[in-house]
Amino acid sequence: MTAITAVAPRLPGRPWIQQDWLDVVFVHWRVDVSAVAPHLPSGVRPDTLGADGVDDGTTTWVGLIAFRFTDTAFPPVRVGRVGDFVEVNVRVYTVDEQGRHGVVFLSLDAGKLLPTLGARVATALPYWWAHAEFRRPEPDRAAYAMRRHGTRTRSLVDVEIGAPIEEPTALETFLTARWGMHVHRAGRTRFWPNEHETWPLHRASIVRLRDDLVAAAGLPFALTGLEPDSVLYAPGVTTRFGLGR
């Protein structure tokens, strides 16, 4: 099995899409693998790591991730403001039979209709169209609010940004340095690699959190009522994706 590193492996070919991910908020809860395994496609299993950075084989993580997409391009073509929107996603952590560590997205709520439809078609990911916005109530705060169109499903996450992290822990690297996603499409599970600079992580703390997305994705209903086990913030990176393999 390959190790998880804070530095991305180089893409095997030219990127097919490039985006800036800005004001990224990472909120995580630890769960038993039994809560995640039923939601995974064939060929992958839950990736495990304990809160102390030691792999106990039973602990995995659920992430609620909010950020802003900007400056989307299909190199060398840029798409302008069409590619600027807010996204809030629910993800879990996976490893495949080749030892590649990635994520599986259980839901992705995006604030513009055209990118939502395009992403559903191009990637087969479970995108939803939502009203979504980012606010900065104070200079050291980052807040996201979304409501999925046609439903009562909502999410609100507001964090206070703390000090920068000089040396991420093993767990912080595990939760953020994920250099690909596992996507089930046309009867097969593929690995779509990505690369970006090392995350400029900060400590963060919850000011306010109210979320329906985790439960709507089929995960334990009470999870988001619990204090998160990890809260992090990053001002942003430029991300490039390669084609699925």
- Are residues 11 and 38 in contact, defined by beta-carbon separation less than 8 angstroms? no
Host H or E run for residue 213: helix 213-216
How many angstroms separate the CA atoms of 96 and 189, rounded?
Answer: 9
How far apart are the C-alpha atoms of 101 and 30, rounded to whole Å? 17
Q: 71-109 pLDDT, tens per residue? A: 888 777 676 666 689 999 999 999 999 999 999 999 999
The predicted pLDDT at position 116 comes to 84
DSSP string, 98-141: T--EEEEEEEEEES-HHHHHHHHHHH---EEEEEEEEE-SSTTE
Q: Does the pLDDT value for residue 165 go beyond 90?
A: yes
CB 73 within 8 A of CB 99: no
Tens-digit pLDDT profile for residues 193-212? 999 999 999 999 999 999 99
Facing residues of 63 across strands?
Answer: 28, 91
Whether residue 213 contacts residue 132, with contact meaning beta carbons closer than 8 Å, is answered with no
Strands 101-110 and 127-135: parallel
CA distance 55 to 42: 22
Chain centroid to CA 117: 19
Which residue ranges form the domains of the chain, and what is each CATH number? 18-241 (2.40.400.10)
pLDDT at position 80 is 63
Q: Structure tokens of 108? A: 């992705």
- Residue 183, Cβ neighbours under 10 Å: how many? 19
Looking at per-residue pLDDT, the higher value among 213 and 120 belongs to 213
pLDDT over 90 percentage in the chain: 78
**Band of the pLDDT at 230, cuts 50, 70, 90?**
very high
Q: What is the pLDDT of residues 181-198, one digit of tens each?
A: 999 988 899 999 999 999
Give me the percent of the chain exceeding a pLDDT of 70.
96
Question: Tens digits of per-residue pLDDT, 3-50?
Answer: 788 999 999 888 888 999 999 999 999 999 999 999 999 999 999 999
CA dihedral of 25, 74, 104, 149, whole degrees rounded to 10: 70
Q: Distance between CA atoms of 93 and 48, rounded to whole angstroms?
A: 8
Fill in the amino acid letter for 154: R
